[in-house]
Amino acid sequence: MKCLGCFKITNQIYCPKCKKELFKNHKLNFTLDFDKKEFLSTKIALSDHMSISGVQDKIALKIENDKLVPAINNSQYLLKPIPLMDYGELLDDVVANEHFTMQLARQIYKLDTASNALIRFSDGELAYITKRFDRVEGQKIKQEDFASLAKRSEQTNGKNYKYDYSYEQIARLIKLYLPAYKLEIIKFFKLVLFNYLIGNGDAHLKNFSVLQRQTKDYTLTPAYDLLSSSLHIPNESRTALELFEEYETQSFLANGFYAYDDFIKFAFIIGLDEKIANKIIEEFLSYESKAIELLAHSFLSDEAKTRYERLYLDRLKAVRYRYQGCRVCT
């Protein structure tokens, strides 16, 4: 069968490598002993106030007596089920979408991502599970998202506070707060480009965070919450935030979508050398066949695979498109 972590063929639920990475070789029953209904009632019991949006979201888990159980304290994992709310298309594919996208980021695009896999509820339904990176050996590590770094909240900036911002401004915060910003800015550029290629229109301020290292300084966290949101909401905006604070390339003005020139200009504005940016773009475009091969192994439905592939190929085409060819376009 296919490993519920990396898709490799194995004779168990998880291959030895994934088992070690996710569960440190704990002898566990790798199927949850509760179903989604019980998950929801636990979620309601664990939350302070009940709201539908909170309910369908996620719960924390920990290992106790060789079982994965819901946890309030000392949790090690987060579990996300297929949403109950009907907010888009192909919703039964949401968890397989997030899992495939995270594996694509990790296995093919070589991005640093949170450890993740699928896991079955007691009735066989799949859920997405991810290991918390803000806990090491039970110790909490300080984590802060970019809404907080940008000092934005619903109270101060209104309902749209997570979206009313730009990736250029996030890059400015990276320069301000992260000592190793020259490396971090490359990671950030790759993540923004990756999100564009896979159709993640929901990479908002709270989906980027920093972690405090043992040396007390901050670094970007591994990537998390990556999925092709456009698969479920086809007409949403291509990016959650605009690339630029106040700028549009000639290419964008002429065509209305981000293309090669925009990413080169974006790189320039955030302090990334054009040659490096060009190399990253070329590299990312060259992963096409590997990405499609991995997609075939994913747990997405055939319909979702077809649509995901179409969307991804369309984005590759957009990024290959050069309007001026941009030597840091005016």
Chain contacts with Zn ion (rule: CB under 5 A):
3, 5-6, 15, 18
In the complex with Zn ion, which residue's Cβ is closer, 13 or 259?
13
In the complex with Zn ion, which residue's Cβ is closer, 5 or 222?
5
Closest separation between CB of residue 105 and Zn ion, Å? 16
> How many whole angstroms separate alpha carbon 221 and alpha carbon 224?
8
Q: Which of 99, 102, 143, 94 is nearest to 118 (CA)?
A: 99
Closest separation between CB of residue 29 and Zn ion, Å? 18
Half-sphere exposure of 276 (CA within 13 A, CB side): 14
Distances from the Cα of 254 to the Cα of 163, 242, 249, angstroms: 24, 16, 9
CB 188 within 8 A of CB 180: no
Closest separation between CB of residue 19 and Zn ion, Å? 8
Closest separation between CB of residue 22 and Zn ion, Å? 9
Contacts 24+ apart (CB under 8 A), 270-279: 270/167, 270/168, 270/171, 270/172, 270/185, 270/188, 270/189, 271/171, 271/175, 271/182, 271/185, 272/185, 272/186, 272/189, 274/327, 274/328, 276/186, 277/189
> How many whole angstroms separate alpha carbon 223 and alpha carbon 208?
7
In the complex with Zn ion, which residue's Cβ is closer, 22 or 243?
22
| Residue 80 φ/ψ, nearest 5 degrees | -125, 125
Closest separation between CB of residue 100 and Zn ion, Å? 14
| Residue 150 φ/ψ, nearest 5 degrees | -85, 0
In the complex with Zn ion, which residue's Cβ is closer, 5 or 199?
5
Closest separation between CB of residue 5 and Zn ion, Å? 4
In the complex with Zn ion, which residue's Cβ is closer, 18 or 243?
18
In the complex with Zn ion, which residue's Cβ is closer, 5 or 83?
5
In the complex with Zn ion, which residue's Cβ is closer, 15 or 147?
15
Strand partners, 68: 63
Residue type, 322: R
Closest separation between CB of residue 283 and Zn ion, Å? 25
